[in-house]
Structure 1
Amino acid sequence: MQENYQIIKNKNPYLCSLLNSTSINNINYEQSKHGDTILVAEYNQKKIYLNSKYNPKKEARTRIEQVNVNSPTIFQVGIGYGYEFEELYRNKKKNAFIIIIEPNPSILAAALNSNYNLQDLFNDNRVLIISGSKIQINEQLHEVKKHFPFSKEIELFVNHYAFTLYEQSNLKELIELIKTTIIARYTSAGNDIKDTLIGIRHMFTNSPHFPYSKNIEELQKYYKGMPIVCVASGPSLDKNINELYNIQEHVLIFCADTSYEKLLNYSIIPDAVSTTERMKKVYDLFYKNKTFHPNTVLFAEGLVYPEILSEFPNAKAITFRSTKYVENRFGEFFKSTNIEDVGSSCAHMSFAMAKRLKSDPIILLGQDLAYSEEGYSHANSTYMEGKTIEEAKQNVEYTIAYDGVSKVKTHATWNLFRNWFEEQISQTPNRIINATEGGAFIHGAEHISLKETVERYISSNKKRSFIEDMGKLEPGSTNEDMKNFADFIDFQLSNFEEIEKLLKKIDRKIEIIHDIVSIKKNVLKQDLAKRILKQCIQYMDQVWEYDHFRSIVVPIILQLNQHGHDINVISTRKEIIKYYEFLWGKVRQLLQLMPILREEYKRGKAVILNQLNNNVDNNDFFIEETMEEIYE
């Protein structure tokens, strides 16, 4: 049915394209004995019923009774004709997400072509549909995970026919993929609203620079299929520094800001230096009073410490993380910026920008993500030179070493960084080479020496001038973009007013609960308190419907999710008190946050209007020491 396809096109264009090229092979429609349409698959010359051939709706109800419909995120593997999905949708919590994964596009196409009941359900923004091979599912999960709630609590429902129709090993891999995606989403949330507020303030302060950023995607015509070396500052970098010097005239070099000075000391001129941090310390360490070679470009997140962008003398490519809702929304207003999944480190940024250029191969160097045999964490002549396991103050973990056999010492943060690389590598058809010659094994990459990599993939031709190519790019953003951004800020300010009204309602109702439960041995009053508490939760659900605000206060949502219980199973006075007191504390934290947010967004609008009025002298830089004013 065309309406179903249009909905999917809006949500997941990749899937829509896949379905348009899918023929419904070996999938037939039949009538159940109860008169309902069902799907039947031909598999190994046998009929596999994807729904009950007797009473599919009743069977669907029975199956969904076994599912925890109170979970904030529900994955359903196998859609069949859609009866289980309809039942799941009817019973889920209002703000819960349902992610349907159907590995066989023909089954999904058959359901879409015939089941008219799916249209309204698919229209819900909290319903996502994914289909295809393992690689295709991985790519789609990566694209849609930014819509998932920030919670590790998930419910997985596997439709009965999946156990027959799909190989068990493939199902197991799919389940592991779902787990990895949820963990990546959860860990990307951060753990401090203060960090988010710093980032927002920095983005507003930095916004006059955004129209002058360079969108390097336009340079693919020069660099697609060309090798790029991404240099980090792991201890193994010392092994290859001389080889890197010898090839610098023939290959682009993108480096983390932690390794830039070391490379200069070895007379190696990086084509780009990457930075992601918002803290003043990073500016002080790597940018303040530093000299940058005129041929080096800056790759910087839009939320970096403002004086980095203000003082860096050369061309800049400003990025916004596609995986962070607030950053993504800011970046959408400026066509000259780069919206990418740039991970969590400078090394990730370099890799992401090489990937944006469609480089092939991308060569990782100094990407140890593990301690050296001597126990050091970073290369010599970097700011972390000499740091050891003992000084890291992190629990030592073990992972597979570069040789693919032995084990090497690492820690949880490096493991997260490595997991990001592995996820990215699984989504790109381009060749990724880990030429670090030490540290951790990165799955999906080829592990060969830099010398061998040079012999195979790096020609003797002189490389293009990256700084000159950047200079050819015209700014893509306009005054109209700035005006639209100002309108967006106005819209959020209006939303903040509505959110504050809801929070004040909740606050007043919790005061009533407080008065009620103060009277001991009054069971009737406790039932009333429980009913009012349900109303408070309904109001909180309305607060979370404001996507922009929800993304700002993710740490509080995580705390509520971790602490919360199903209100329906709370019965004792003690449980009610524990529940409402915790909720009350978080509501009052949010109420304290509201005036700070309003002032920040008003300041952001003033920065934009100054820019529109050609008043570009924006010296209102945010100094870290003034953080006392920011809500924690």
Structure 2
Amino acid sequence: MFDEIEKRCLNGLLGNQILVSKEKIISAFENRKDQNKISILQNQKNEGIVVVLKENREWFMQSYYWAEDAARVWAEQYLDVVTDNTVFLIMGIGDGKAIQKLLEYNDENIIIVYEPCAEIFWKQFGKEILAELLESGRVFLTVNGINEAVLIPYLEAFVDYTNFQLMQIGILPNYDRVFEAEYHWMMEQYLYVMKKIIMSRNTEISFNKEMVENQMALSEDAIKHYSVGQLDDIVKKKDLSGMPAVLVSAGPSLDKNIDQLRGIQDCVFILAVDTALNTVLNHEIIPDMTISIDGHKPVELFKNPKIKEIPIALSSRSNKQILPFISQKRFYELSSKELLAKLFHNIGKEVVELPTGGSVANNACALLKRMGFQTIIFMGQDLAYPEKKTHTLQAYGEYNTINANEKKYVKVLDVYGKEVYTEPNMLNYLKWFESFISVFPSIRFIDATEGGAAIKGTEIKSMKWVTKNIVNKKYDKSIVWGNIPLFLNKEEQKKVYEMIEENPKNIQIVKKIVKKELEIFDELKYEKENKNIKKLTKKIIDMNKELEENPVFDMVRYYAIREDYKAKGSLLKYDKKGKVEEQIYDLSNKGRDLFEGYMKAIEELESVL
């Protein structure tokens, strides 16, 4: 079907991502249509020039007479800003030459390319230059209508707080004029990821010590219970594949249709987020599962005695005070960077972290997908404030309303096409849902919220319609929880406890390294000999690797999160034209500030480990 170069292009497009399948790309290839809007003209130098016909006008996407020279000039605008940590987001692949020139300026930087026109991509598909770009390991291509869903995952994979200020946005000639709507879409995805990075930073700084304290308090519980990874494809394994799932969130619209859920609760799997628990229980609905990931979630939400018998998904940073109110199975998600995950890894047990946009409902949706549900129905997923209300009435026992005159509130369209108030953090949650839904087109998402912001990619239906058209049989849902072994057996638990006993020793090892690095930063500050600078920086790099490998270092970093983020935002900035001595001096001072923060964090942790 494909010749050798086409196979190379196909494999390069797939890369290491698993979100868009090979079958989908092959299907797009087989069903591609030539709209006669894209042509390749040969100039006198035998260079193929991409031309787009739009509204009876021909748009040249590169120079007709000097295509390669123009590509070089375009790329040179970034020559002075390229660093090892620069991530490019480029609109357009063109003939590939501009991207090729950009690659030549550095051996490390990543280039994410969004091609808004599939027809242009197919014109270049099978050409040697495209194969080489995709095989470089540094060019990650997304194409509208083929795999655009991986744009956000690519941005999230390569951009974080350490390098987001170093990002560069590039537009190939005429792309933003010919594909204006697609340009705005690309920028929306970019801004979403940037806002998410800032929001995550602010959350971690605000609740850093609370997060660490919850981690330590919940560690023993996580050791003795289950992992969310054990729920992978559970509905298929238990022969419940046809069962729909209902994700119940705590938006104010839930009060409109919650009673309709009671009549079908034997026919659907119900996952209610923590804030929605009181509402569903007060309407005689027992959810099959709940989820709570926030370290500061109020304990009042868990005081209904019925909650004790509901299985729950938890984060290691969930509020430790809710444990006495839960007696059923507890399934933990863990970040691979945290202490417990590293200890599990040491005995061959890998953890799972649910993708999230910052809301517990995001995690819940990701969990339902992981469990294998092919139909997911949203209720109470307002992501806005209809009638200016914040939550379902029984979440906290009364309605809370917003002051819409405050500047932070903005308007979006609701499911009925009318305007409704929301705020930036909810827009981020909304964007996450839309991105998540686009990545999994085989799953049917139905929005039966009956209010709130419209979520692109969902079918907007009423609960009455769901009851009539989706629900068709009763299920024995209790079998979901049967025969699930503990995540760690007794011997594995014993090994983890033994490693935890090493924490005081590990914190002293970290302390010794941090103290040594402080001395090196002082020595580096006034060093002028290039060979000595290289020697000292290599020592810092080697010791940082040793720190990263130490299981308790993540806790140290969280205790010093403010200093850590401050350093992340400045240490990678390097001006090629600046004076090396001045920059080394500045680097030393910033490094010292960071490691002094680590030392203070160690002193605090010594008393609790």
**TM bucket, shorter chain:** 0.7 to 0.9
Within 5 Å, give how 1:464-543 maps onto structure 2: 464-474=475-485, 501=513, 504-505=516-517, 508-510=520-522, 513=525
Tell me the residue number matched to 2:16: 11
Q: What is the DSSP-based 3-state SS (H/G/I as helix, E as strand, rest coil) of the residue aligned with 1:208?
A: helix
Within 2, Cα distance between the matches of 1:240 and 1:584? 57
* Structure 1 residue 215 corresponds to structure 2 residue 222: no
Which among 146, 152, 159 is matched to residue 157 of structure 2?
A: 146
Which among 256, 275, 286 is matched to residue 269 of structure 1?
A: 286
Tell me the residue number matched to 2:423: 411
Tell me the residue number matched to 2:257: 240
Following superposition, the deviation at residue 215 of structure 1 comes to 1.5
Tell me the residue number matched to 1:432: 445
Checking the alignment, whether the CA contact within 8 Å between 2:152 and 2:193 is kept in structure 1 is yes
Tell me the residue number matched to 1:588: 596
Checking the alignment, whether the CA contact within 8 Å between 2:61 and 2:172 is kept in structure 1 is no
Which among 243, 267, 273 is matched to residue 226 of structure 1?
A: 243
Letter in 2 for 1:220: K
Within 2, Cα distance between the matches of 1:421 and 1:327? 29
Tell me the residue number matched to 1:356: 370
Q: What is the DSSP-based 3-state SS (H/G/I as helix, E as strand, rest coil) of the residue aligned with 1:157?
A: strand
* Structure 1 residue 400 corresponds to structure 2 residue 412: yes
Checking the alignment, whether the CA contact within 8 Å between 1:376 and 1:388 is kept in structure 2 is yes
- Could you report, residue by residue, the CA deviation over 1:381-428 in whole angstroms, capped at 9, with x for unpaired residues? 3226243336x9985402225354433333333333333223223333
- Could you report, residue by residue, the CA deviation over 1:536-575 in whole angstroms, capped at 9, with x for unpaired residues? 9898777887878799567545434555764456679999
- Could you report, residue by residue, the CA deviation over 1:1-37 in whole angstroms, capped at 9, with x for unpaired residues? 7999878766325568367788799999999999xx9
Letter in 1 for 2:157: K
Checking the alignment, whether the CA contact within 8 Å between 1:146 and 1:185 is kept in structure 2 is no
Q: What is the DSSP-based 3-state SS (H/G/I as helix, E as strand, rest coil) of the residue aligned with 1:354?
A: helix
Checking the alignment, whether the CA contact within 8 Å between 2:152 and 2:435 is kept in structure 1 is no
Within 2, Cα distance between the matches of 1:69 and 1:454? 56
Tell me the residue number matched to 1:205: 220
Which among 126, 129, 138 is matched to residue 140 of structure 2?
A: 129
Q: What is the DSSP-based 3-state SS (H/G/I as helix, E as strand, rest coil) of the residue aligned with 2:170?
A: strand
Within 1, Cα distance between the matches of 2:395 and 2:519? 51
Which among 462, 465, 471 is matched to residue 452 of structure 1?
A: 465
Within 2, Cα distance between the matches of 1:537 and 1:32? 51
Tell me the residue number matched to 2:188: 176
* Structure 1 residue 371 corresponds to structure 2 residue 365: no
- Seen in structure 2, the aligned counterparts of structure 1 residues 97 and 336 have a Cα distance that, compared at 3 Å, is closer
Within 1, Cα distance between the matches of 2:537 and 2:313? 43
Within 5 Å, give how 1:259-298 maps onto structure 2: 259-279=276-296, 282=298, 284-287=299-302, 290-292=305-307, 294=309, 296-298=310-312
Which range moves more in the overlay, 185-194 or 426-435? 185-194
Letter in 2 for 1:431: R
Following superposition, the deviation at residue 278 of structure 1 comes to 2.8
Task: Give the TM-score taking structure 2 as reference length.
Answer: 0.72
Within 2, Cα distance between the matches of 1:488 and 1:40? 62
Following superposition, the deviation at residue 216 of structure 1 comes to 4.3
Identity %: 20
Tell me the residue number matched to 2:566: 559
Task: Give the TM-score taking structure 1 as reference length.
Answer: 0.70
Checking the alignment, whether the CA contact within 8 Å between 2:247 and 2:365 is kept in structure 1 is yes
Which among 206, 209, 224 is matched to residue 194 of structure 1?
A: 209
Checking the alignment, whether the CA contact within 8 Å between 2:521 and 2:591 is kept in structure 1 is no
Q: What is the DSSP-based 3-state SS (H/G/I as helix, E as strand, rest coil) of the residue aligned with 1:318?
A: strand
- Seen in structure 2, the aligned counterparts of structure 1 residues 232 and 303 have a Cα distance that, compared at 3 Å, is same
Within 2, Cα distance between the matches of 1:477 and 1:102? 46
Q: What is the DSSP-based 3-state SS (H/G/I as helix, E as strand, rest coil) of the residue aligned with 2:204?
A: coil
- Seen in structure 2, the aligned counterparts of structure 1 residues 499 and 141 have a Cα distance that, compared at 3 Å, is farther
Checking the alignment, whether the CA contact within 8 Å between 1:263 and 1:270 is kept in structure 2 is yes
Q: What is the DSSP-based 3-state SS (H/G/I as helix, E as strand, rest coil) of the residue aligned with 1:91?
A: coil
Tell me the residue number matched to 2:90: 76
Checking the alignment, whether the CA contact within 8 Å between 1:233 and 1:382 is kept in structure 2 is yes
Checking the alignment, whether the CA contact within 8 Å between 2:12 and 2:134 is kept in structure 1 is no
Letter in 2 for 1:423: S
Tell me the residue number matched to 2:273: 256
Q: What is the DSSP-based 3-state SS (H/G/I as helix, E as strand, rest coil) of the residue aligned with 1:177?
A: helix
Checking the alignment, whether the CA contact within 8 Å between 1:19 and 1:109 is kept in structure 2 is no
- Could you report, residue by residue, the CA deviation over 1:158-204 in whole angstroms, capped at 9, with x for unpaired residues? 3448569x744334423433333343344344432435534653564
Within 2, Cα distance between the matches of 1:161 and 1:329? 49
Within 1, Cα distance between the matches of 2:417 and 2:580? 55
- Seen in structure 2, the aligned counterparts of structure 1 residues 357 and 112 have a Cα distance that, compared at 3 Å, is farther
Query: Number of paired residues?
Result: 569
Within 2, Cα distance between the matches of 1:179 and 1:29? 33
Checking the alignment, whether the CA contact within 8 Å between 1:435 and 1:449 is kept in structure 2 is yes
- Seen in structure 2, the aligned counterparts of structure 1 residues 234 and 536 have a Cα distance that, compared at 3 Å, is farther
Following superposition, the deviation at residue 331 of structure 1 comes to 8.2
Which among 277, 288, 301 is matched to residue 315 of structure 2?
A: 301
Within 2, Cα distance between the matches of 1:484 and 1:158? 54
Within 2, Cα distance between the matches of 1:394 and 1:538? 51
Instruction: Note the residue ranges of structure 1 that are not aligned, 5 or more in a row.
Output: 517-524, 600-627
- Seen in structure 2, the aligned counterparts of structure 1 residues 90 and 139 have a Cα distance that, compared at 3 Å, is closer
- Seen in structure 2, the aligned counterparts of structure 1 residues 197 and 467 have a Cα distance that, compared at 3 Å, is same
- Seen in structure 2, the aligned counterparts of structure 1 residues 569 and 334 have a Cα distance that, compared at 3 Å, is same
Checking the alignment, whether the CA contact within 8 Å between 1:320 and 1:339 is kept in structure 2 is yes
Following superposition, the deviation at residue 454 of structure 1 comes to 1.9
Q: What is the DSSP-based 3-state SS (H/G/I as helix, E as strand, rest coil) of the residue aligned with 1:247?
A: coil
- Seen in structure 2, the aligned counterparts of structure 1 residues 584 and 23 have a Cα distance that, compared at 3 Å, is same
Following superposition, the deviation at residue 499 of structure 1 comes to 11
Checking the alignment, whether the CA contact within 8 Å between 1:530 and 1:576 is kept in structure 2 is no
- Seen in structure 2, the aligned counterparts of structure 1 residues 472 and 195 have a Cα distance that, compared at 3 Å, is same
Q: What is the DSSP-based 3-state SS (H/G/I as helix, E as strand, rest coil) of the residue aligned with 1:420?
A: helix
Checking the alignment, whether the CA contact within 8 Å between 1:232 and 1:367 is kept in structure 2 is yes
Within 2, Cα distance between the matches of 1:159 and 1:342? 32
Checking the alignment, whether the CA contact within 8 Å between 1:52 and 1:59 is kept in structure 2 is no
Checking the alignment, whether the CA contact within 8 Å between 2:521 and 2:592 is kept in structure 1 is no
Following superposition, the deviation at residue 255 of structure 1 comes to 0.7
* Structure 1 residue 314 corresponds to structure 2 residue 321: no
RMSD: 5.4
Q: What is the DSSP-based 3-state SS (H/G/I as helix, E as strand, rest coil) of the residue aligned with 1:389?
A: coil
- Could you report, residue by residue, the CA deviation over 1:258-307 in whole angstroms, capped at 9, with x for unpaired residues? 2223322222111111111234x64x33446844364x321222443456
Checking the alignment, whether the CA contact within 8 Å between 1:138 and 1:427 is kept in structure 2 is yes
